[in-house]
Structure 1
Amino acid sequence: MKVLTITAVGPGDPSLLTLAAVEAIQESTVVSYPVSTLGGESLAEKIASKWITKDKKKLPLHFPMVNDQNTLKSAWRFAGNELMKMVGNGERVVFLAQGDISLFSTGSYLSKELEKYHPECAVKLIPGVTSFSAAAANSKFSLAFQDEQLLVLPVPDSYEELKVVLSDAASKKRVVVLLKLGKKWEWVQPLLKELNLINKSIFAERIGFSDQQILRASDLPAGTRPYFSLLLIRQSWPLRMP
């Protein structure tokens, strides 16, 4: 049976790759990975570079960062066909995806593409460490205790929508993880101050890379932030604590 492996490589720190991910890369003959621009670098490849030896073939695949559905579907279709060519030639192919494959991941779209158009190929999925779990561990931030809820979502598009999310979270003892902060920090910062949450929030960007930042949101100046940035927001603590 034809088999393709899609493995997560974590948020940035090579030491956070799972043993399963390392073994999949080592056993492969072809290592494929996404690039956002033609001829550009791949963060996933960079994270896993220690295990991508010179004997392995490399297959960069272009996944443009756009919202146009036709463009995205064409990219997924092309990628699926290219990978199947390699698998059909007897290659042991592994595709690398940053973070975890089940959370806002190129790997998830690729898996569904192969499932729909190449059902003859078995797809093995290997999970990975998420950016927010790595940031939480690094900052000693507890994501959830006992019966608390955890909400993970991209930063909403509007001030009012996020205000509702945070107000609702307060009433339900819900910890909130906001991903893809980026330029929205310009209006998120004033909202956190308005709700008295700026001192209860942790900011993190480029987790696992040499230039990572993890600090209290109150220490972060106004302005835009990189795409790979996030907030951890805890508004209360359980009664039963040490």
Structure 2
Amino acid sequence: MKVLTITGVGPGDPSLLTLAAVDAIQESTVVSYPVSTWGGESLAAKIASKWITKDKKKLPLHFPMVDDQNTLQSAWRVAGDELMKMVEKGERVIFLAQGDISIFSTGSYLSKELEKYHPECVVNLIPGVTSFSAAAAKSRLPLAFKEEQLLVLPVPDSSEELKVVLSNAASKKRVVVLLKLGKKWEWVKPLLQELDLIKKSIFAERIGFSAQQILRASDLPAGTRPYFSLLLIRQSWPLIMP
């Protein structure tokens, strides 16, 4: 039987890898991981490096960070074919994806690619810790109580869209997680100040890495932030609390 494993390796801290992920890496003979440029560093491989021993074959796969549909589909096809070549040789193959494999993950696209073009292969999926759940734990901010709602989305492209998101969240008692903040922080901060939400927002970047930052959004200067940055916005708290 042809089998391949795709696992999440968490947001950055190796200690946040699940036992299932560690076991699967240790049992593998080929460790594959994404790179955005040929010869570039893989954050997923870096996170799991403690368990990628010298006896394992390494298979970096190129996933360019572009929006062009044809380029992306070509990258997924090549990646799927390269992985299947290893599987067909009898190798025990694992693909590493940063964070969780189900949330804005290369692992999700790869899983669907294999499902469509290599249906004979059984794909095992191992979840991982997300950056926003790790950030919430580090900042001691509960993401949802009892019947509260939680909305996770990339930062919208305009302030008008974000205003609507935040207004709806307030009426629904919905906590909002904004991912991929990056350069949009230049206009997001003034908007949060305008809506009187800046002190109700937590900023986090590079969760789990040595350069990790978690602080109140009000303490963060305006300007461009890294791609791996996010906001946690809680506009209200339950009426009954300890």
Length-normalised TM-score, structure 2: 1.00
| Distance (whole Å) between structure 2 residues aligned to residue 121 and residue 172 of structure 1 | 43
Alignment of 1:200-215 (within 5 A): 200-215=200-215
Structure 1 match to 2:49: 49
Alignment of 1:128-139 (within 5 A): 128-139=128-139
| Distance (whole Å) between structure 2 residues aligned to residue 228 and residue 43 of structure 1 | 11
Structure 2 match to 1:9: 9
1:48 is displaced (CA, Å) by: 0.1
| Distance (whole Å) between structure 1 residues aligned to residue 178 and residue 222 of structure 2 | 17
Structure 1 match to 2:25: 25
* Alignment deviations for residues 47-74 of structure 1 (CA, whole Å, 9 cap, x no partner): 0000000000000000000000000000
Q: Residue 79 of structure 2: SS of its match in structure 1?
A: helix
Structure 1 match to 2:87: 87
| Distance (whole Å) between structure 2 residues aligned to residue 149 and residue 139 of structure 1 | 19
Q: Residue 152 of structure 1: SS of its match in structure 2?
A: strand
* Alignment deviations for residues 3-49 of structure 1 (CA, whole Å, 9 cap, x no partner): 00000000000000000000000000000000000110000000000
Alignment of 1:184-199 (within 5 A): 184-199=184-199
Measured on the aligned residues, the alpha-carbon RMSD in Å equals 0.3
Alignment of 1:107-118 (within 5 A): 107-118=107-118
AA aligned opposite 1:191: L
Alignment of 1:86-235 (within 5 A): 86-235=86-235
* Alignment deviations for residues 138-197 of structure 1 (CA, whole Å, 9 cap, x no partner): 000110001100000000000100001001100110000000000000000000000100
| Distance (whole Å) between structure 2 residues aligned to residue 165 and residue 85 of structure 1 | 45
1:234 is displaced (CA, Å) by: 0.2
Identity fraction in percent:
88
AA aligned opposite 1:161: E
| Distance (whole Å) between structure 2 residues aligned to residue 222 and residue 183 of structure 1 | 10
AA aligned opposite 1:102: S
| Distance (whole Å) between structure 2 residues aligned to residue 92 and residue 119 of structure 1 | 17
Please state if 1:35 is matched with 2:35. Answer: yes
* Alignment deviations for residues 180-232 of structure 1 (CA, whole Å, 9 cap, x no partner): 00000000000000010000000000000000000000000010000000000
Unaligned 5+ segments in structure 2 are none
1:240 is displaced (CA, Å) by: 1.1
Q: Residue 60 of structure 1: SS of its match in structure 2?
A: strand
Length-normalised TM-score, structure 1: 1.00
Structure 1 match to 2:72: 72
